[in-house]
Each structure stands twice: as structure tokens, then as C-alpha cells.
Amino acid sequence: MQTLTSVKALRSAISAEKQAGKRIAFVPTMGNLHSGHISLIKRATELGDCVVASIFVNPLQFGANEDLDNYPRTLQEDMDKLLGAGTDYLFTPSAKEIYPQGMALQTQVSVPDITDTLCGASRPGHFVGVATVVSKLFNIVQPDTALFGEKDFQQLAVIRKMVRDLCFDIEVVGVATARNEDGLALSSRNGYLNDEQRSLAPQLHATLQRCQQDIIAGCHDYANLVRRCSEDLQGHGFNVDYFAICDGTTLRDITSQSPEIVILVAASLGNTRLIDNVTLTLNPAGN
Ligand code: PAF
């Protein structure tokens, strides 16, 4: 695995791979890699002949009061994991390399509509930061395929829309959420949880699953389900940012035309904000 820090060096390495006829699969990350990230890399090795990963803790997607400074940085361990999983190139640019004129002068990519709800509503500017850095990384790497985790369901939807709207010639692949045995979705932020919070955290997925089962069993009083699930989570000590049952494509209210439903949650234990989701498909009868 070659680790490169400059746009120029990465471009020249990838261009040689492309000239040799290789298909490029790209996994952008912010590091502190866990087995969820490694499953993205493994899938990338199946979809491409040359796997490129990036580690860049993107300051543009963090709000002023968020965890940018404390975000876990574990480069050496990450490099070992990436190498073991079959990565060919690792791109670890500095903020100066990505934002040479500073963030204030950076042209920004704003994806409308789908970003003003859920995490977009709670984290103003977050998805502009994500869309901007991902479009820059796409232009630098020029991959054939890019892989993202389904845990960040809204992020994946935003990136899919951006790719469509800006005509990026890139196949976006979502990879199923990796979970601990108790159901907790793997996340770099799980490391912030103390023992008590860690023991409560699996309630997030358990509540999503109960809600999913209730809908499958025929309960379509979504407002009531949302209220009940939010109260359940509060009862377990979560501070609920949102619990929502949405159309899986628009992330808006479910309509009679919604074939796929997504149930999404963002909730904090102490200062640690966790997100998760489950999807389900309605049959034509609507149940
Ligand atoms: O999901 C992440 O780790 C980040 O949001 C991403 C896609 C690497 C952009 O910084």
C-alpha cells in the first residue's frame, strides 16, 4: 500500500493505474477505522482492481460546537487495517492540501431539499461540508465506484443525489451497517461512551427493530409509533434528536407511492450523538 499526501502524487499514481486498464474503487473515510470501514474496503476489492482509501477529518462538515478537535485520530492502526484488507493507495491529505485558500474561500456544493431535514436540520452546514469534500475527493481520485456505509443513510442519499445532479460518472454503492453482537451499529463515536452508556446504547437498534416489526404487523399510525419509540428511548436515558419514519427515497413523509420505508434515529447519550436506521419494503397492499 502506498500512502500519499498530495493531490498531485495521488493523481499521477491513479492515472498510471487507469492507463493499465484498472477499475478504481474508492472508500472515503475520516479514519479511526472499525470493521464497518473494513467491510467497505473488502467490498471495494470485489468491485475494483485498484482500491483507494482516504483518511481526512474534514473540518468543513463539523459545526462550531462539535467534536472536530477530539475526533479520534489513529493513523498507524488505520494503516495496518487498510493494508490487511487489500488497499492499494491511501490518501491522507492535510487540511491545507484540500482547502489551500482556507475554508471560507472554498467553493461549496449544496444539495437542496434532502439536506434540510433530519441530521441536516440538527447540524446546519454539515451536508454542505460532506458534499463539498466528497465532490473534491471524487474529482481527485476519479473512481469508477465509490462505497459508503448505510449507517449514514441520509449522507448516502445526499451523495447519490449529488452524483446524479452533477453528472459524476461514478457508481455509488451502499454497504450494510456493521453491528456489534448486541446490535449497536459500529461507529467511531462509540469509543466516547462510558460503560453505563455503552450498556444502554443497543436500545437504539432494539427500538428501531420494534418499530419495524410493528409496521410489518400492520400498524401504520406512524405519528403514534414515533411518539412511543421516542419515549422508550428517553426512558433509557437518551436525549432524542429525532426519531422518524420516512419515505426511503425522499426522506419525507410516507405516501401511498412509497415502496421503501426507512426508520431513522439520532439520539445522544451524554455528549455522544449516535445515529442508526433500518429499512423495510411495503408490499403493494401497503403492509
Ligand atoms: O462518512 C464519513 O466518514 C464522512 O462523512 C466522509 C464521507 C468521509 C466525508 O468526509
Mean confidence (pLDDT) of the chain: 96
| Residue 36 beta carbon below 6 angstroms from any ligand 1 atom | no
| Residue 133 beta carbon below 6 angstroms from any ligand 1 atom | yes
Which among 71, 123, 130 is the best mutation to test ligand 1's pocket, defined by most ligand atoms within 8 Å of the CB? 130
**Among residues 250, 272, 270, 276, which one has the least CA distance to residue 261?**
250
DSSP annotation string for 55-93? E---GGGS-TTSSTTTS---HHHHHHHHHHHT-SEEE--
Domain boundaries, the chain: 2-175, 188-278
pLDDT in tens, 25-35: 999 999 999 99
Name the helix (H) or strand (E) containing 100. Answer: none
pLDDT in tens, 127-159: 999 999 999 999 999 999 999 999 999 999 999
Measured in angstroms, how far is the CA atom of residue 159 from the centroid of ligand 1? Answer: 10
Q: pTM of this prediction?
A: 0.96
Q: Which three cell numbers stand for residue 247?
A: 419515505
Instruction: Give me the amino acid identity at 252.
Output: R
User: What is the pLDDT averaged over residues 1-27?
Assistant: 98
**Among residues 196, 207, 199, 130, which one has the least CA distance to residue 161?**
130
Catalogue the active-site residues.
37
- For domain 188-278, give the CATH superfamily: Pantoate-beta-alanine ligase, C-terminal domain (3.30.1300.10)
Class of domain 2-175: alpha beta
Question: Is 90 exceeded by the pLDDT of residue 285?
Answer: no
CB-count burial class (<10 Å; 0-12, 13-18, 19+) for 202: middle
pLDDT the model gives residue 284: 58
What confidence tier does 259 reach under pLDDT thresholds 50, 70, 90?
Answer: confident
| Residue 275 beta carbon below 6 angstroms from any ligand 1 atom | no
